[in-house]
Amino acid sequence: MRLRLEPGLGLLVDRTMSTTLALLLAIFGALLLTAGFLDDIAARIRVPGILLVLLLGLLTDNPLHPAPAGQATALLSLEQADQIGQVALVLVLFFGGLTTNWHQMRSVLVPAGRLATLGSGLTALLMMALVLLLGRIPGVDVTVTLPLALFVGAMLCSTDASAVMALLRPLKGRLPDQLVHLIECESAFNDPVAVVLSGIALAMASGSEAVSAPSLVIEVTRQFLLGGLIGFLGGTLARQLLSSRSNRSSTSQLAVMSLAVLAVLVGGTQLIGGSGILAAYVAGLVLGNSPECDRAVLEESHAGFAKMAELLLFLCMGLVVDPEQVVAAAGWALLLFAALQLVRWLMVETVLWRAGYGRAERSLITLAGLRGAVPIAMAIQAAAGRAPWGDAMPAVALAVVLLGLLVQGFALVPAARRLGLASPG
């Protein structure tokens, strides 16, 4: 922004930048306000709020106005959406760890851990094998390679806790606690698995040399170990810092301090080769279950950040994807969605075999595998990167997520009642 002085007029500001910024603020403010209203309406009519927010983004025209060269100026570019998505994902997962009750999760830690690790890995591998067998992506002139197939499998292997819990809200207190805790714990733990596997696929796609199997194992192990360790250590240090200030600091000050610690923790973990996403979740888990910290105050201060991040993430996804691309990818996405339900059923039956869950409970766990924020963020990252097939991923991810929200979203509560899992209210 340039400042200049003119006689008789005082200090003037070049309005080119300020007008653009004002326009962006007005548009994004209006969209975010509308998204908030849609999320509230969705809760009342018992549909996933992210479904309506995604549709809002799709129906909003991304190009703003003709530029001097005759080209359209984009309201949001892929690179900007990628940056917003990565920050939003950190905030969502940190809040997820913050609100996870470790004492309640301990009873389901073993089966949920198996679902989140072994189950997610199995889902990613089976979906990868399907993509390799298909051999092509409709409408995309690229050869299906191992990195592309691995990315699709990783993108679709994680589930979304917030979407599932929002849909099950009408049955709150009527479902078995053990079942609810298992679904929530699995969704919280499998996000880092998907993020690490997708990062490896993108590294393979953009690298000039082939990545060997031993290097993949080393990379996965390093990211998980460093992410978990630094998240635990950072969360422990943050617990000491915040607990010493909680008695004399306001809620807003604690929010600022915890956000600053989170930024340092995630950035530092990424710089040394660990998983910043996993570090954010583990740090939130440590803070949220610490007796020294006021958990209620921390949850209250971060609930707004997490909700805004989630709404922005889905709004950005709808903005940067052309609805025509979603329609073009619908056939392939329908095939992936159908295969994903079969793989989900096979994974749940295999991993929870002899784990103490009946057939009805396993059926509801299978149906509760909704996809949400993580596939959206990973698809945007692929489109903004150097992968030759990255441009096709947002439309595919969005189509699969929309199918899941429409089919599973409307069937989840009636299925829980029909299976006899919901006690009379």
What lies within 8 Å, CB to CB, of 144 at 6+ separation is 131, 132, 134, 135, 136, 137
Given a cut of 50, is residue 175 above it in pLDDT? yes
| pLDDT score of 221 | 78
| pLDDT score of 65 | 42
Tens digits of per-residue pLDDT, 269-318?
989 888 888 889 889 988 888 887 777 778 888 888 888 888 888 888 78
CB–CB of 152/131 below 8 Å? yes
* H or E segment and range at residue 233: helix 213-245
Tokens of 223: 């990211």
Tens digits of per-residue pLDDT, 44-74?
777 777 788 888 888 887 664 444 444 556 6
Given a cut of 60, is residue 209 above it in pLDDT? no
> Containing domain of residue 135, as a range?
75-418
Q: Residue 66 domain-assigned? A: no
Tens digits of per-residue pLDDT, 114-131?
998 899 989 999 999 999
Tokens of 69: 């060269």
Q: Looking at the whole model, is its pTM more than 0.85?
A: no
Amino acid at 379: A
Question: Mean pLDDT across the chain, nearest whole number?
Answer: 81
Q: Residue 33 domain-assigned? A: no
CA 312 – CA 425 distance, rounded (Å): 35
Q: Residue 369 domain-assigned? A: yes
Q: Residue 197 domain-assigned? A: yes
Backbone angles phi, psi at 170, to 5 degrees: -60, -20
What is each CA distance from 129 to 122, 154, 226, in whole angstroms?
11, 12, 29
Q: Residue 232 domain-assigned? A: yes
| pLDDT score of 10 | 46
CA 317 – CA 64 distance, rounded (Å): 17
Amino acid at 354: R
Q: Residue 18 domain-assigned? A: no
Instruction: List the CATH number of the domain containing 161.
Output: 1.20.1530.20
| pLDDT score of 155 | 92
Domain count within the chain: 1
Q: Residue 187 domain-assigned? A: yes
Q: Residue 222 domain-assigned? A: yes
Q: Indicate the pLDDT class of residue 347, thresholds 50, 70 and 90.
A: very high
In this predicted model, which residue has the larger pLDDT, 141 or 219?
219
Given a cut of 80, is residue 20 above it in pLDDT? no
Tens digits of per-residue pLDDT, 129-166?
999 988 776 656 667 888 899 999 999 998 887 777 77
Q: Which residues pair with 63 in a beta bridge?
A: 74
